């Protein structure tokens, strides 16, 4: 009887131990938070995707998407919007901290979130699409003169850019209106933000029904979001967020690496370092380090460019310019050097198919890079040209003109000290031990010498 009770208690303990973790895990839900700080790009898209996967895997109550961005690439923005719309976990967009903003691409993303909120002292808007390609901004120049942006309008209020710019603007208007209709937000102001680059403060955005509420911190954010009904992947969900613990998801090393190398300026520098590292390895076999570093940099640079919306004609021109400059270094012609710099600059200007805040090539990077590349080519060419003009100095040629000293002499033959070595020598003129002579020829390891003239002897003394 006692044994049966012990066995029953043990079985009950095992069942409780197995079931308790599941029941406790199901009851302890959290709100995950991810911060997008800086320009919207491939790294931001990857960071949000990983955060949404983590939220779905852990069955989080909500994911707080904290935004502080000047905008970015349209391709990455659309990827982030698609991920939010398909997310099984409600996403709360929150523009924070105070002083932050959700401009350009950030406005579209905020419109896509299930719940939109802002901290006091923040703003959003200025969602006009920026230029498609074109030259980088000149230092000190007026950007409005160099960009065909859609916020320039004609007398009818339409975009003053070309037909392609008008298409891009209309497409952006359609996107923000569709998001406004999906989330029940102000679509008219969204269109105004696209066409006229309009912006709103937090309180003004609340009055215009662009956001749902203003919250000072995440605690108040979860309190105000509690009880709201949202559409999550086609299903109506009532948020229960009051008092939820908030866990912040930090970006991993790969996302941090992406945020650095996907800067087009960094990608161009990596590509140049890679090309010249490999060239140096081929010209100096066995160095190893330049080849290894160059290969890694070249792969990283090309990987970053593959993630960016680039014009492959521009990339081909840049590579062609580098090839011309390498050829110029080994075969100086000046024409190839100038052509290489021109091809490199034109390629850099054409490299990005679409530019956005934080994703534009700068003359401060392109100019010095081109100048440094040309300088290296000219320096290498100068040394190579000088080496070609000098006479060969190998074998017997290296001995001609070398000074020597008579060690011993008898008749027309004897021994001399030349280049630190003892040589057999002969002369057609009388010399004696201790005289200074110079080598005029060499044959079968026998030197032909002659007395150095008086002027030289005087100079040496």
Asked if residue 225 belongs to a domain, the reply is: yes
Q: What is the pLDDT of residues 101-117, one digit of tens each?
A: 999 999 999 999 999 99
Asked if residue 154 belongs to a domain, the reply is: no
Listed residues 360, 389, 418: the one ending a domain: 389
Task: Report the CATH number that the domain containing residue 208 is assigned in CATH.
Answer: 3.90.226.10
- Claim to verify: residue 81 and residue 217 sit in the same structural domain: yes
State yes or no: pLDDT of 345 exceeds 90. no
- Claim to verify: residue 349 and residue 277 sit in the same structural domain: yes
- Claim to verify: residue 246 and residue 307 sit in the same structural domain: no
**Does the pTM of the predicted model rise above 0.75?**
no
- Claim to verify: residue 220 and residue 270 sit in the same structural domain: no
Least confident segment among 64-73, 211-220, 425-434, 450-459: 450-459
Q: What is the pLDDT of residues 398-455, one digit of tens each?
A: 777 788 888 888 888 899 888 888 898 988 888 888 888 988 888 888 888 888 764 3
Q: What is the pLDDT of residue 13?
A: 44
What's the number of domains the chain is made of? 3
- Claim to verify: residue 229 and residue 310 sit in the same structural domain: no
User: Rounded to whole angstroms, how far apart are CA atoms 300 and 121?
Assistant: 39
User: Rounded to whole angstroms, how far apart are CA atoms 318 and 377?
Assistant: 15
Asked if residue 207 belongs to a domain, the reply is: yes
Token pair listed for 322: 């580098």
Residue ranges in 91-186 assigned as alpha helix (H): 105-112, 143-146, 163-183
Q: Lay out the sheet containing 199-201: strands in order across.
A: 101-103, 123-125, 199-201
Q: Lay out the sheet containing 115-118: strands in order across.
A: 213-214, 115-118, 91-95, 62-68, 31-37, 246-248
- Claim to verify: residue 226 and residue 314 sit in the same structural domain: no
- Claim to verify: residue 291 and residue 415 sit in the same structural domain: no
Q: What is the pLDDT of residues 222-281, one digit of tens each?
A: 999 999 999 998 899 999 999 999 999 999 888 988 888 888 888 888 888 887 787 777
pLDDT band at 151 (very low <50, low <70, confident <90, very high): very low
Q: Is 347 exposed, middle or buried (0-12, 13-18, 19+ CB in 10 A)?
A: buried
- Angle CA(158)–CA(159)–CA(163) in degrees, nearest 5? 110
- Claim to verify: residue 89 and residue 232 sit in the same structural domain: yes
Task: Report the CATH number that the domain containing residue 427 is assigned in CATH.
Answer: 2.40.50.140
- Claim to verify: residue 207 and residue 354 sit in the same structural domain: no
């Amino acid at each position: 009887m006692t044994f049966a009770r012990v066995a029953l208690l043990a079985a009950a303990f095992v069942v409780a131990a197995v079931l308790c973790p599941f029941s406790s895990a199901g009851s302890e839900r959290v709100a995950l938070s991810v911060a997008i700080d800086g320009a919207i790009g491939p790294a931001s898209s990857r960071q949000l995707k990983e955060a949404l996967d983590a939220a779905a895997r852990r069955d989080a109550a909500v994911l707080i998407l904290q935004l502080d961005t000047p905008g970015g690439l349209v391709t990455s923005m659309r990827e982030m919007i698609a991920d939010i719309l398909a997310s099984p976990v409600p996403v709360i967009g929150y523009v924070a901290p105070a002083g932050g903003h959700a401009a350009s691409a950030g406005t579209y993303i905020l419109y896509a979130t299930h719940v939109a909120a802002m901290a006091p002292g923040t703003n959003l808007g200025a969602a006009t699409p920026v230029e498609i390609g074109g030259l980088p901004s000149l230092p000190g120049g007026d950007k409005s003169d160099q960009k065909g942006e859609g916020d320039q309008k004609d007398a009818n209020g339409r975009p003053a850019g070309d037909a392609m710019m008008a298409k891009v603007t209309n497409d952006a208007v359609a996107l923000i209106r569709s998001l406004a209709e999906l989330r029940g937000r102000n679509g008219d102001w969204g269109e105004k933000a696209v066409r006229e680059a309009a912006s709103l403060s937090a309180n003004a955005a609340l009055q215009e029904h662009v956001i749902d509420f203003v919250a000072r911190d995440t605690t108040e954010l979860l309190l105000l979001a509690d009880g709201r009904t949202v559409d999550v992947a086609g299903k109506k969900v009532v948020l229960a967020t009051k008092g939820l613990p908030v866990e912040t998801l930090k970006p991993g090393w790969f996302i941090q690496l992406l945020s650095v190398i996907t800067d087009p300026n960094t990608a161009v520098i990596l590509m140049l370092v890679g090309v010249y590292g490999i060239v140096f390895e081929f010209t100096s076999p066995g160095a190893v380090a330049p080849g290894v570093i160059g290969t890694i940099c070249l792969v990283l640079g090309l990987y970053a460019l593959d993630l960016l919306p680039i014009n492959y004609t521009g990339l081909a021109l840049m590579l062609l310019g580098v090839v011309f400059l390498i050829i110029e270094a080994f075969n100086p012609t000046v024409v190839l050097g100038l052509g290489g710099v021109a091809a490199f600059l034109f390629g850099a200007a054409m490299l990005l198919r679409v530019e956005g805040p934080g994703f534009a090539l700068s003359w401060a990077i392109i100019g010095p890079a081109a100048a440094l590349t040309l300088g290296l080519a000219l320096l290498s060419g100068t040394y190579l040209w000088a080496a070609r003009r000098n006479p060969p100095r190998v074998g017997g040629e290296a001995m001609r003109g070398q000074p020597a000293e008579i060690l011993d002499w008898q008749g027309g033959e004897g021994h001399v000290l030349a280049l630190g070595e003892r040589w057999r020598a002969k002369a057609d003129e009388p010399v004696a031990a201790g005289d200074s002579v110079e080598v005029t020829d060499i044959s079968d390891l026998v030197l032909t010498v002659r007395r150095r003239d008086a002027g030289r002897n005087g100079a040496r003394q």
